[in-house]
Structure 1
Amino acid sequence: MNPRTKNWLTAYVVSAVIFAVLDVAWILLVANPLYQNQIGGLLAPKANLAGAVLFYVIFVAGMVHYGVRPNTPDASVRQRVTGAALFGFFTYATWALTGFAVLKDFPALVAVTDILWGAAACSIVTWATAALLRRRLARPAAA
């Protein structure tokens, strides 16, 4: 495996683990109670596992690409976190504002909370991944 691919996959795995822990805490402590209270009638009785897994696989790839950027050694932590915050903002805004626009009684509180969470979660995960992999991210990967 070439070093660039290894760097990317390492960053992906680290980001995925951090995001999974962070997002489970978020879902259990904030999102579930908020969703039950605000949009309980829209929720399925049980989450679609395939849809959830696909979301996490794709979303973490985007976070690594636009935030962590494991093969861009000259990127500062600030640039990485800013890229991640923007990725989280735009992706979560797409979901939340679409729901707000087309679903009956979709509350602005849920939309705003989700958008803020997307930006914050991506920022935190990218910062933590960059901190854990700082030596690996600071050197160029051999081609």
Structure 2
Amino acid sequence: MRMRCALLLPILLLAACAQPPATATFNPIGMTEGELVSRLGVPSRAYETDGRRFLTWDSEGSAGPAVTPSIGLGVGRFSGGWGSGTAIGTGLGLSFGGGGPSGYCTATYEMRDGRVIGATRQGPGCG
């Protein structure tokens, strides 16, 4: 029983670190251009036509931090004062790190009279 608890402890600690999904979504409609730039930073591109202004942000998406299961195999030889031996071992573990990029995301906001009136997002990293 004690061994099972020791094995479950790391899993429970990892679960405690998990972040819940975001419940609030970003809704820029009605924001001023200044508020949008303050929130997202300087746009990658801007384009004006027919009294409308389009601001575009390009970014690389990321899968975020990842915990990946791994399997290992080891072989060793040892010797000492009382004898020598050879060992083969296997193990299971977890590796921690970034999940790597999941693709680009292009977000374009349409402005009219200084306020956002529309938004589009394109690309696999927009999720």
Please say whether Structure 1 and Structure 2 have the same fold, judged by a TM-score greater than 0.5. no
Q: What's the TM-score bracket when you normalise by the shorter of the two chains?
A: under 0.3
Q: Which structure shows the higher strand fraction?
A: 2
Q: Tell me the TM-score normalised to structure 1 length.
A: 0.24
Q: Tell me the TM-score normalised to structure 2 length.
A: 0.26
Q: Which structure shows the higher helix fraction?
A: 1
Higher CA-based Rg: 2
